[in-house]
Amino acid sequence: MTICNDMTLAAIEPDAGLAAALKLDRAGVIGEIRRSGMKGRGGAGFPTGVKWNLAAAAQGDRKFIVCNADEGEPGTFKDRVILTEWPGRVFEGMTIAGYAVGATEGILYLRGEYAYLRHGLEQCLAKRREEHLLGNDICGKTGFGFDVRIHMGAGAYVCGEETALIESLEGRRGEARNRPPFPVNTGLGGMPTIVNNVETFAWATAILARGADWFKAIGTEQSTGPKMLSVSGDVERPGVYEFPLGTPIREVLRAAGGEDAKAVVVGGASGQCVPANRFARTVSYEDVATGGAVIVFGPGRNMLDVAENFLEFFVDESCGQCTPCRIGNVKLLEGVRRLKRGECSTQQLRELRALGETMRVASKCGLGQSSPNAFLSIIEHFRREIPSRVPVTVEA
Amino acid sequence: MRQQDPPPAGTGHAPVRRPSQATDVPHGGDLIGALVSVTIDDHTVKVPVGTTILDAARRVGVHIPTLCHHDDLCVAGVCRVCVVEVEGQRTLQASCAYPITQPTTVRTHTRQVRQARRHIIDLLLSEHAGECTTCFRNGNCELQALAKEYGVDSFRFGRPDRPRHKVDRSSHAVVRDMNKCVLCRRCVRTCIDLQEVGVLEAVGRGEATTIATYLDKPLAEMICINCGQCINRCPTGALRANDPTDEVWAAIDDPTKHVVIQTAPSPRAGIGEEFGLEPGTPMTWEMNTALRRCGFDKVFDTNFTADLTIIEEGTELVLRLHKNLVQGDSSLPLPQFTSCSPGWIKYVEHFYPQYLPHVSTCKSPQQMFGALIKTWYAQLHGIDPAGIVSVALMPCSAKKFECNRPEMCDSGYKDVDYGLTTRELAQMIREAGIHLTEMPRSDFDDPFGTASGSGVIFGATGGVMEAALRSVIEFVTGKKVEDFYAHADIVPVRGFEGCRHAEVQIPKEVGPVPGLIRHLVPDWNWLKGATLKVGVVHGTANARKVMEDIKAGGPFSQCHFIEFMACPGGCLGGGGQPIPTGPAIRAARARAIYAEDAAYGEAGKARKSHDNPAVLRLYQEFLTDGPCGHKSHHLLHTHYTPRGKYIG
Ligand SMILES: Cc1cc2nc3c(=O)[nH]c(=O)nc-3n(C[C@H](O)[C@H](O)[C@H](O)COP(=O)(O)O)c2cc1C
Ligand code: SF4
């Protein structure tokens, strides 16, 4: 997958962040991350410094640093690029996190389909051990030990959700846990656990290397720093881009050659659909948040097909645990198909929209909570594409 | 094919799960026991940190509907029916799974909450191929009740037009109809967490999620112990017992058949619940009349063979002790394990087959009775045993499997023809138009008559042990139990704690060996001053703990005798008892059982098994070579099948 513009990460000196971190005390490292204002790059956008601080304060015989490399969101592939180009950065970031919260064990949870990356990643780990960047007394810092092992995922989208990921690590079905308690307190094996996205760890190294002020200067006040985006769909130059957060969607489209798009779905299957007349909206936590996926739909696309496609995905990928998600997605999918056939009454459409609202608030985890997003936003913005209904009586 | 460990599908490790996460308190330590204020609708109350919203709501009398929640089980938070609004939270929260750790404001029936609950119920109904009118849970179904509570008046999201799953009727004990399953996973949590057996697990993902056995094999081929605890906790009709009432009615209707029924102690303590009575309302004597009016020719008391079990199993224990302690012969090892719970038996056969020599060879009271009805009773009354249909009313689903074991034919016929649960009998009584609660009281039929109070308490965890100790103490000391324990209530073995220990000090003074077993042991001198160590265990999760303790040489390995019951609470919590179940209901049933035992004392009837006159008559007239003698071995003892966990 092509890298399409200049990547800040390429310019950061390897392991400068780790060296800088080890000169600080633990609180100092967390303070720097907090000051940077960085929010998680995996999608949910939780402030990374706050998460690290909670895990540092939590009591536990062991603590774990987990890197979420499950990258299962349709249309997301920027983590794959990071793991291919700069795997050392990811392990460096995990090591910094380990130092900051007092963890000695790291786990990279690697998407099953990325098995081909494993060999390179293992080599990178071996090299880092040789160079005393992993193992005991890292960089000569007595008493600080940290190592990373790789755990392969097995192809379930839900295992990207952090608590389902932990269940999977523990050898069980990938299913979201009840929260609270949160992983920072009660994670892997009941121990305090940090789960962060691949990109989050990579940026953590840059923050330590260049300072929080440098990071904060990029992006907006609430969305600091650069963000990698996976741009795909009806564009001339699909690939991985880096933009400062707060960049308007229009600009992303211009860079990728997709100005004539009728809509983009930002955030993948679980993201929201933005129609052309809203392309001034920005990619940022305060506006259109994303873990990195920008899927572009050209003028010829039928948006109901898009909704159908995404819902088919959720019908299969729901973990099947909770009612709103497991059955709700089936009902939304049936509804979209009825819409496509022109067989959905306004009454039924209203019911489906209300059901979507219920799924958002009543599902157990982020999967179910975000699964109706695309459907709801397409219904909202593309009313004219909904074939005029054929009046049918409501089934008994 | 390669043999694999069946439970839990795919994960291949011991099916042990951490208990409820919901009560985890972040930062632990100083917060434990602290109080925190919560406002639920108009009520403000202080609760211990970590209390769930659901528990807090119950405390202030606010009703929140639930479906996947069960008081006996760890938290799941999957059905989402119990969602509420928590101030400051973006999404609704499952009240069963939300621990209150800081001052919290909760609203339980806002528009959004009501709409979400209604949607969830509608969604569940859209997948529930239930025909209420033809379902055994009609009128006692939690989904049906929710639909009524939320005024469901149409299938808003449709309903299944045809069944998607084949009904699994392979097991003698449990019938699984996954068309009615709502995926609440109570059965999974029961099987994996409560019982630690691990036959049932959620498999598949998304729309294809189902509850299944390993490779979806028939239940009869699994390591299912038939305890039926899953049935008792299923909110719908997806799980039920294998019901023989049609066959029983057919036998009653057949004039050539002599249909007898033996009734265990627990159904009497539970059946009232089926007729709207408070849990713990005993119906022993009314039920006797109802059974006769249903058409049973004789009504016997299983407690008779409970008493007999005490004599046989107690004798076996004495023999084992003598062999091990005096003769240095450990071919029949200690501790001796009880054998009256067929769920426990199948559990050992699967999970600890190497420990089968520890299990008493005594049949369960049900099967002892079966063997005697078609021999002694038939002889006494000149009835052709071939024409006898022997039914056993049990609180238990495993008894159905037990009576179908091929080895249970020592009378020359199938010793017990049908195992009937409390629920199934209640159905028969309703069908016959009998008002149980208005029945005149009547006694059990001879020659077995009314048993002792010790037989009655078999129904509660610890009861077998208490009954055994009453007899052993009197046998060995020659004194009255009452000299050691007021009213012969051996309180240390009572209660609901999962694994219990007790010690009985044999005094320096021993008595003569009673006539019944004098030919087996010469004297009691070898027991002078000894400490008899006993254990009481209920629920197979606790059984596993004790077995692992024994394996590791822990305190339970020092015991001489251990009572194991497969079901939580003992038989009174059996898989054939009225639904629902829960800690309070089981405690009420236990009170009924202990009250009946006490009443025997007040009425001047026997309270100890060895005082049961009918048992003594049996040894005089029929089992003339005494307890553990040749004839008793033939009819009253059995052997077990090492099964292991592996399924081909
Ligand atoms: C269904 C679902 C799938 C997810 N998949 C991923 C994923 O593939 N990678 C990822 O980093 N985060 C994923 N997340 C978000 C994680 O739960 C978690 O918030 C994230 O890993 C935290 O890291 P961050 O704070 O660095 O973003 C997913 C969330 C949900 C609900
Ligand atoms: S929302 Fe979906 S994926 Fe998440 S717990 Fe519920 S069923 Fe599973």
To the nearest whole number, what is the mean pLDDT of chain B? 93
Distance from C-alpha of B452 to C-alpha of A338, rounded to nearest angstrom: 69
Helix/strand/coil for B212 = strand
Burial class (CB in 10 A: 0-12, 13-18, 19+), A269: buried
Q: Residue B154 pLDDT more than 50?
A: yes
Domain ranges for chain A: 2-216, 226-297, 303-389
Query: What pLDDT is attached to residue B452?
Result: 84
Cβ–Cβ below 8 Å for A326 and B206: yes
Distance from C-alpha of B25 to C-alpha of B48, rounded to nearest angstrom: 11
Work out the average pLDDT over A289-308: 95
Do residues B269 and B459 lie in contact, with contact meaning Cβ atoms separated by under 8 Å?
A: yes
Cβ–Cβ below 8 Å for B123 and A317: no
Q: Which residues from A are below 8 Å from B81, CB to CB?
A: 323
Query: What pLDDT is attached to residue B449?
Result: 79
Q: Any chain A CB within 8 A of the CB of B26?
A: yes
Residue of A nearest to B17 (CA): A172
Nearest CA to ligand 1 atom 25: A40
Query: What pLDDT is attached to residue A108?
Result: 98
B67: CA distance to ligand 2 center in Å?
17
Do residues A3 and A124 lie in contact, with contact meaning Cβ atoms separated by under 8 Å?
A: no
> What confidence tens digit (pLDDT) does each residue in B87-115 have?
999 999 999 999 999 999 999 999 999 99
Strand partners of residue B314: none
Q: Which residues from A are below 8 Å from B119, CB to CB?
A: 324, 328, 354-355, 358, 362
Q: Residue B19 pLDDT more than 80?
A: no
Q: Any chain A CB within 8 A of the CB of B143?
A: no
Among B81, B86, B119, the strongest candidate for a mutation testing the A interface, having the largest count of A CBs within 10 A, is: B119
Q: What is the ipTM of this complex?
A: 0.94
Residues 486-515 of chain B whose Cβ lies under 8 A from any Cβ of chain A: none
Cβ(A158) – ligand 2 distance below 6 Å: yes
Q: How far is A303 from chain B (nearest CA, A)?
A: 24
Q: Any chain B CB within 8 A of the CB of A360?
A: yes
Q: Which residues from B are below 8 Å from A364, CB to CB?
A: 77-78, 80, 94
Q: Residue A175 pLDDT more than 80?
A: yes
Query: What pLDDT is attached to residue B23?
Result: 40
The beta strands (E) that lie in B491-530 are given as 499-505
Longest dimension (CA), chain A: 76
> What confidence tens digit (pLDDT) does each residue in B399-413 have?
999 999 999 999 999
Query: What pLDDT is attached to residue B17?
Result: 40
Residues whose CB falls within 8 Å of the CB of residue A138, separated by 6 or more in sequence, listed in order? A18, A22, A95, A99, A132, A144, A145, A146
> What confidence tens digit (pLDDT) does each residue in B267-307 have?
999 999 999 999 999 999 999 999 999 999 999 999 999 99
Q: What angle do CA B490, B494, B497 make, to 5 degrees?
A: 150
Residue of B nearest to A352 (CA): B157
Cβ–Cβ below 8 Å for A318 and B18: no
Residues of B classed as catalytic: 313, 316, 340, 360, 399, 402, 407, 571
Q: Which residues from B are below 8 Å from A331, CB to CB?
A: 123, 126, 157
Do residues B227 and B398 lie in contact, with contact meaning Cβ atoms separated by under 8 Å?
A: yes
Distance from C-alpha of A64 to C-alpha of B53, rounded to nearest angstrom: 30
Architecture of domain A226-297: Roll (3.10)
Do residues A303 and A263 lie in contact, with contact meaning Cβ atoms separated by under 8 Å?
A: yes
Residue of B nearest to A190 (CA): B18
Question: pTM for this structure?
Answer: 0.94
Nearest CA to ligand 1 atom 18: A162
* DSSP count for chain A of H helices, then E strands: 16, 11
> What confidence tens digit (pLDDT) does each residue in A145-160 have?
999 999 999 889 999 9
Work out the average pLDDT over B181-206: 97
Strand partners of residue B298: B260
> Which of B78, B123, B157 is opposite residue A321, by nearest beta carbon?
B78
To the nearest whole number, what is the mean pLDDT of chain A? 95
Q: Which residues from A are below 8 Å from B24, CB to CB?
A: 180-181, 185-186
> Which of B28, B78, B123 is opposite residue A59, by nearest beta carbon?
B28
Tell me the angle at which helices A115-130 and A78-85 cross, rounded to the nearest 10 degrees.
40
Cβ(A370) – ligand 2 distance below 6 Å: no
Among B81, B91, B118, the strongest candidate for a mutation testing the A interface, having the largest count of A CBs within 10 A, is: B91
> What confidence tens digit (pLDDT) does each residue in B220-257 have?
999 999 999 999 999 999 999 999 999 999 999 999 99
| Pairing mode of beta strands A282-283, B43-48 | unpaired
Work out the average pLDDT over A209-221: 98
Cα radius of gyration (chain A): 22
A321: CA distance to ligand 2 center in Å?
6
Residues whose CB falls within 8 Å of the CB of residue B356, separated by 6 or more in sequence, listed in order? B348, B349, B640, B642
Residue B366: Cβ within 10 Å count = 26
**Terminal-residue alpha carbon distance, chain A:** 51
Closest CA to B369 of B335, B338, B394, B332: B394
Query: What pLDDT is attached to residue B631?
Result: 96
Question: In the structure, what pLDDT confidence band is assigned to residue B5 with cuts at 50, 70 and 90?
Answer: very low
Domains of chain B in sequence order: 1-109 (3.10.20.740), 155-241 (3.30.70.20), 245-304+365-438 (3.40.50.1780), 310-361+452-609 (3.40.950.10)
Tell me whether the omega of the peptide bond preceding residue B580 falls within 30 degrees of 0, making it cis. yes
Query: What pLDDT is attached to residue B25?
Result: 43
C-alpha distance from residue B454 to each of A12, B7, B418, B450, B468 (Å):
81, 38, 25, 11, 8
Question: In the structure, what pLDDT confidence band is assigned to residue B448 with cuts at 50, 70 and 90?
Answer: confident
Cβ(A319) – ligand 2 distance below 6 Å: yes
Closest CA to B566 of B594, B591, B541: B541
The CATH superfamily holding the domain A2-216 is NADH-ubiquinone oxidoreductase 51kDa subunit (3.40.50.11540)
Tokens of B252: 């009653």
A303-389 is a CATH 1.20.1440.230 domain? yes
Work out the average pLDDT over B544-549: 98
Q: How far is A207 from chain B (nearest CA, A)?
A: 29
A291: CA distance to ligand 1 center in Å?
8
Strand partners of residue B301: B263
